[in-house]
Amino acid sequence: MNITDLFNIANVFVLPFWTLMIFLPNWKITRKVMESYLPFVVLAVAYLYLFITSITPENAQALSNPQLADIARFFADEKAAATGWIHFLVLDLFVGRWIYWEGQKTGIWTVHSLALCLFAGPIGLLSHIFTYWITKAFFPRPESAVVNLPEQAASSSSN
Q: What is the pLDDT of residue 61?
A: 81
Q: What is the pLDDT of residue 147?
A: 61
Residue ranges of the chain whose pLDDT lies below 50: 153-159
- Give the predicted TM-score (pTM) of the model: 0.85
> Closest Cα to residue 59, out of 48, 72, 49?
72
Q: What is the pLDDT of residue 144?
A: 56
- Angle, helices 3-23 vs 78-106, to 10°: value is 10
